[in-house]
Structure 1
Amino acid sequence: MSGAYLFNHTALAKVFRAKPLKALVQAGLTLPRCHPDQWVLDCTRVGGEKALVYLGHYCA
């Protein structure tokens, strides 16, 4: 299954953008006027120790 993904990256980007935006609205917060209309989602396959080290920086 080389190159195959469970979700289309365009659809996934829309979902990843909609969820935090919905949470902000529900919390009563407003977005700055300069927020991007489109978000970039990178669907590159990663794994192994390098991925764990990279993600470990965000789990401190």
Structure 2
Amino acid sequence: MTEITGIGGFILLVLDVWAIVSVVGSTASTGKKVLWVLLILILPLLGFIIWLIAGPRSTRP
């Protein structure tokens, strides 16, 4: 059972890093970027879900 929990935690970590990189690369203001990153860091699962629904996306080249 701990293997499943460990894999789930690793997947959440990867998704949170992806969300943070996307927020930093977005065109949002610096203040909004800081708030989004703090939300994702403080509440990893809930912050990621909220970011998926309403968060800023990185700009495509």
Instruction: Give the TM-score taking structure 2 as reference length.
Output: 0.41
> Which structure has the greater CA radius of gyration?
1
